[in-house]
Structure 1
Amino acid sequence: MSRRFALIVNPAAARGRALDALPPALAELRSLGVEHRVVRALGLPHARAEAAAAVGRSETVVAVGGDGLVG
């Protein structure tokens, strides 16, 4: 069984620096052949809904951003 990841990104985290960390992380996931998708959270309610949907699809949820994303 392959594992698929849902990366839920808070674009405002660390004054936008969370987005700067994303390209190298995505490159590493691609090099390892890891299936993934990226969601730019539009706010905490959106992030929660996307996380719940990802769990429903048996995806591993990865929060990319600060503690405000996991509120």
Structure 2
Amino acid sequence: MYGAIFGLGPVELIIILAVIVIFFLPALLPKIAKRAGDTFTTVKSMVNKKEDELEAENEGKGRKGDSSRE
């Protein structure tokens, strides 16, 4: 099994970690949720920016290719 620790896979380890945080560190949940949300927002904006750049690049190549065919 890939990434198994003590016979547990990554999904099981994440579930165990989540249970530990919920039961033993509930005060940290709002901070963890905010940080996760901020990280998700940052990653999403980076992906959207890169997609826009690639789309603009492809449109530019398409125009050059079309004009050279004429």
Same fold judged by TM-score > 0.5?
Answer: no
Instruction: Return the TM-score normalized by structure 2.
Output: 0.28
Greater relative contact order (CA < 8 Å, ≥ 6 in sequence):
1
Which structure shows the higher helix fraction? 2
Instruction: Return the TM-score normalized by structure 1.
Output: 0.27
